[in-house]
Amino acid sequence: MNAKDIKAVSEMKAELTAPPFVPKSTADREATKLKVDMEILEETGEMADGVEYVYWTFGGSVPGSFIRTKVGDEVEFTLKNHPDNKLPHNIDLHAVNGPGGGAASSFVAPGHEITFSFKTLNPGLYVYHCATAPVGMHIANGMYGLILVEPEEGLAPVDREYYVMQGDFYTKGEFGEQGEQPFDMQKAIDEDADYVVFNGSVGALTGDGALQAKVGETIRLFVGNGGPNLVSSFHAIGEIFDRVHVEGGDLINENVQTTLIPAGGAAIVEFEVDVPGELVLVDHSIFRAFNKGALAMINVTGEEDKDVFAGTIQEGIYLPEGGTIQSMPSDDEDDAKEETAAVELSKAEKMELGKKVYGSTCFACHQADGQGIENAFPPLANADYLNDDVNRAIDIVLRGKSGEITVNGKTYNSVMTAQNLTDKEVAAVMTYIYNSWDNNGTEVTEEMVRKVRKK
């Protein structure tokens, strides 16, 4: 039957979800008159540890609320612009057949709401975004999200579904610069992104925010790219996509390593997770992952399967980096960074600064709780190698390390790059590490760092 001829027989309020969650499948229901109620909020959020940014949002999150519809639905869309907002906004849904994707009909001033309607004709995963002048700025501040139009029978059932959306951000300060960071229009025009992130901020989907799965489950990710500028080379480290709905449409490709997601486009990726461990989702334009934040985690728990994976992680061939500029290991002593005499931080201050440095520099390899990645990156949590010799540890941070080492009885043969950090930052981050995760509580001073640097 032609989608236009499907009659909506009932009426219901749409379930909207904040990322990374998606509403339940539409497979069990008929086409309906679906009432979508969405509020636009301009609000301050955290782009990275200690970095504040003013986001403009659909529904209070970046990306905006996930909308799940099915073919033949008559969507009655109410867009509310919060009275405290400063700007008019609208919404362009790529799922709409009609002028401006609804943008012209949805232009709404602060303190007002507007209702328009459309019928979903084409199944697929679509981006929606604000299209008010200057369009790029509205998108760059986070005004995008995904709307799914399911086929009549619904998408095939899977064990878990998640919502992940990439976006690039342009701030006055460079990556990691602390404090409130305003949007930088010139950088946006130059397409010179400071942050490339999944779900609106660095670390949104790592640590406590990591996605969860169990061995043997099939995962479906609804992946979008809000842009405004950059195209994503979406990849899961340690997993092959069994099926990809290319560009969110009908075409299905199988056994895909990296799928391209255009700005203002989407893809549905599905895969069964075969072994326990952490899968790392990245934009494989790889500096974005390790230096600009485009990194997310899926925590897979369950039984090991040695037939599938015997324990030699190939991903060790990367030289994964944190946000700090790094150089290869070196015996050269000229690298020592000039240090201005400063007052030693208190232990509490070191813990605070150290946590931030860890988040931008160490975390990509050694992981949020210092657990490392087995066979690739040694753990820092309760680690004998670390606790045995503080000067050796300082030396590794300053000069890097390559070759075989044994940590907690396991052998690692990898490369750690020299970190371009100040003495203050090294003292802070190492104090943080030594005073976290059951380590021995050593407080590292700048003097200790200086001594090792001069060695």
Which residues of the chain form contacts with other proteins (CB under 8 A)? 42-44, 54, 56, 83-88, 90, 99-100, 103-112, 131-135, 137, 141, 182-183, 185-186, 189
Catalytic residue among 73, 74, 92, 168: 92
Is 130 labelled as part of a ligand binding site? yes
235 labelled catalytic: yes
Nearest to 51, CA basis, from 148, 176, 154:
176
Nearest to 230, CA basis, from 183, 284, 155, 177:
284
Angle between helices 390-399 and 423-434 (to 10 degrees): 130
Q: Could you tell me how far CA 332 lies from the centroid of its own chain? A: 36
Catalytic residue among 38, 47, 130, 362: 130
**Residue 97 Cβ, how far from other proteins at the closest point, in Å?**
15
Answer positive or negative: Cα dihedral of 59, 63, 68, 71: positive
Nearest CB to other proteins, comparing residues 40 and 296: 40
Instruction: With beta carbons less than 8 A apart as the criterion, state whether 412 and 312 touch.
Output: no
Classified as helix, coil or strand, 283 is: strand
Is 138 labelled as part of a ligand binding site? yes
Nearest CB to other proteins, comparing residues 226 and 322: 226
446 labelled catalytic: no
| DSSP notation for 336-365 | PPP----PPPPHHHHHHHHHHHIIIIIHHH
366 labelled catalytic: no
Nearest CB to other proteins, comparing residues 100 and 151: 100
Reading the block at residue 224, the tokens are 């979008």
**Residue 371 Cβ, how far from other proteins at the closest point, in Å?**
39
112 labelled catalytic: no
Distance separating alpha carbons of residues 140 and 183, to the nearest angstrom: 8
Catalytic residue among 258, 422, 442, 445: 258
Angle between helices 446-454 and 423-434 (to 10 degrees): 120
Catalytic residue among 38, 89, 171, 194: 89
CB under 8 Å to 355, separation ≥6 — which residues? Answer: 49, 432
Is 129 labelled as part of a ligand binding site? yes
Nearest CB to other proteins, comparing residues 105 and 439: 105
138 labelled catalytic: yes
**Residue 141 Cβ, how far from other proteins at the closest point, in Å?**
6
Is 365 labelled as part of a ligand binding site? no
258 labelled catalytic: yes
State the amino acid at position 244 in one-letter form: V
**Residue 191 Cβ, how far from other proteins at the closest point, in Å?**
11
**Residue 404 Cβ, how far from other proteins at the closest point, in Å?**
52
Sheet holding 295-301, edge to edge: 211-214, 295-301, 277-283, 232-237, 258-261
47 labelled catalytic: no
**Residue 117 Cβ, how far from other proteins at the closest point, in Å?**
16
Catalytic residue among 137, 143, 297, 416: 143
Is 94 labelled as part of a ligand binding site? yes
CB under 8 Å to 364, separation ≥6 — which residues? Answer: 289, 290, 295, 320, 321, 322
Catalytic residue among 254, 305, 384, 388: 254
Half-sphere exposure of 340 (CA within 13 A, CB side): 1
Nearest CB to other proteins, comparing residues 89 and 399: 89
Catalytic residue among 39, 74, 129, 168: 129
Reading the block at residue 413, the tokens are 């043969």
Instruction: With beta carbons less than 8 A apart as the criterion, state whether 94 and 123 touch.
Output: no
Catalytic residue among 74, 235, 417, 425: 235
365 labelled catalytic: no
Nearest CB to other proteins, comparing residues 85 and 414: 85
Instruction: With beta carbons less than 8 A apart as the criterion, state whether 129 and 102 touch.
Output: no
Instruction: With beta carbons less than 8 A apart as the criterion, state whether 197 and 294 touch.
Output: yes
**Residue 185 Cβ, how far from other proteins at the closest point, in Å?**
6
Instruction: With beta carbons less than 8 A apart as the criterion, state whether 132 and 88 touch.
Output: yes
**Residue 82 Cβ, how far from other proteins at the closest point, in Å?**
9
Residues belonging to the binding site for Cu cation are 89, 94, 129-130, 138, 143, 284
Residues belonging to the binding site are 89, 94, 129-130, 138, 143, 284
List active site positions: 89, 92, 94, 129-130, 138, 143, 235, 254, 258, 284
